[in-house]
């Protein structure tokens, strides 16, 4: 087909988009944040934006100052990007060993919060995180001098695994598979989906109690647990997004007028 023919087709039908290209972009955009809490292995590309030393996230607009001073506030912040390499050719049993390494992983040195994120976090009077290293290190990054409470109550939803020696897949593939199986009720060597939701309900109440006592609370948590907590907060009358942002260092704010007693 000549250049003239291509231009004629575009003028009549518009720019052509290949279905596989759209699917690829959608998979690469969804998998790291929705299907699993584990990152796609790094692919080194020259001059790519992943080489940035900091990540700026748009912080949600809060109420007017007069209203904010009277409101209780809960800030849900997702941890920064962990430093861990994916691994190829793992059986389901070997994937369980990789999960142990993942749970102990710290933060990537290039993963830094934006200034607005740090400002919002610093204004919170009470600070909480899970007892996983990526959560603790993230809280120390946004609030270096602050006292905080690390609790297993806020840990990420556990990933199940299986006692199988075949097939042998990449760690990212196993993460996606077992996360989906967990949603469908599979809970081998892990908490069930229903147990996770009950834990999130307790966590949301813990944060609400802390907000009532301290006015503002920060939780440096995890993708899925933050989402379950957010759903419960909204159900209990807190104003904020039902589905908080899932990117690393992403901030979601929930506000509620104090109860009159």
Over residues 61-77, the pLDDT tens digits come to 544 544 455 799 999 99
Question: Hey, where are the domains in the chain?
Answer: 63-256
- The CA distance from 1 to 96, in Å, is 52
Give buried/exposed letters for 129-163 (b at 16+ CB in 10 A, else e): bbebbbbbbbbebbbeeeebebeebbbbbbbbbbe
Highest CATH level, class, for 63-256:
alpha beta
Q: How does DSSP classify residue 31?
A: I
How confident is the model over 121-150, as pLDDT tens digits?
Answer: 999 999 999 999 999 999 999 999 899 999
How confident is the model over 208-232, as pLDDT tens digits?
Answer: 999 999 999 999 999 999 999 999 9
Q: Which residues contact 101 (CB under 8 A, 6 or more apart)?
A: 84
Ramachandran quadrant class, 9 (left: phi over 0; alpha: psi -120 to 50; beta: rest)? alpha
- The CA distance from 92 to 101, in Å, is 15
């Amino acid at each position: 087909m000549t250049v003239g023919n291509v231009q004629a087709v575009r003028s009549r039908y518009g720019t052509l988009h290949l279905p596989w290209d759209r699917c690829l972009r959608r998979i690469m955009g969804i998998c790291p944040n929705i299907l699993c809490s584990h990152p796609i292995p790094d692919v080194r590309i020259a001059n790519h934006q992943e080489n940035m030393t900091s990540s700026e996230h748009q912080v949600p607009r809060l109420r007017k100052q007069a209203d904010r001073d009277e409101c209780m506030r809960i800030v849900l912040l997702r941890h920064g990007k962990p430093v861990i390499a994916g691994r190829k050719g793992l059986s389901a049993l070997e994937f369980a060993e990789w999960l142990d390494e993942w749970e102990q992983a710290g933060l990537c040195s290039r993963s830094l919060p934006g200034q607005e994120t740090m400002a919002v976090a610093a204004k919170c009077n009470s600070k909480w995180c899970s007892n996983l290293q990526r959560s603790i290190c993230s809280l120390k990054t946004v609030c270096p001098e602050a006292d905080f409470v690390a609790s297993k109550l806020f840990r990420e939803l556990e990933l199940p695994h299986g006692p199988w020696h075949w097939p042998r897949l990449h760690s990212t593939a196993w993460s996606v598979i077992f996360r989906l199986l967990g949603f469908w009720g599979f809970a081998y060597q892990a908490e069930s989906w229903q147990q996770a939701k009950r834990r999130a309900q307790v966590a949301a109440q813990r944060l609400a109690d802390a907000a009532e006592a301290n006015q503002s609370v920060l939780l440096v948590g995890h993708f899925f647990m933050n989402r379950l907590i957010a759903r419960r907060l909204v159900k209990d009358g807190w104003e904020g997004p039902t589905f908080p942002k899932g990117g690393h260092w992403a901030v979601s704010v929930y506000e509620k007028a104090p109860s009159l007693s």
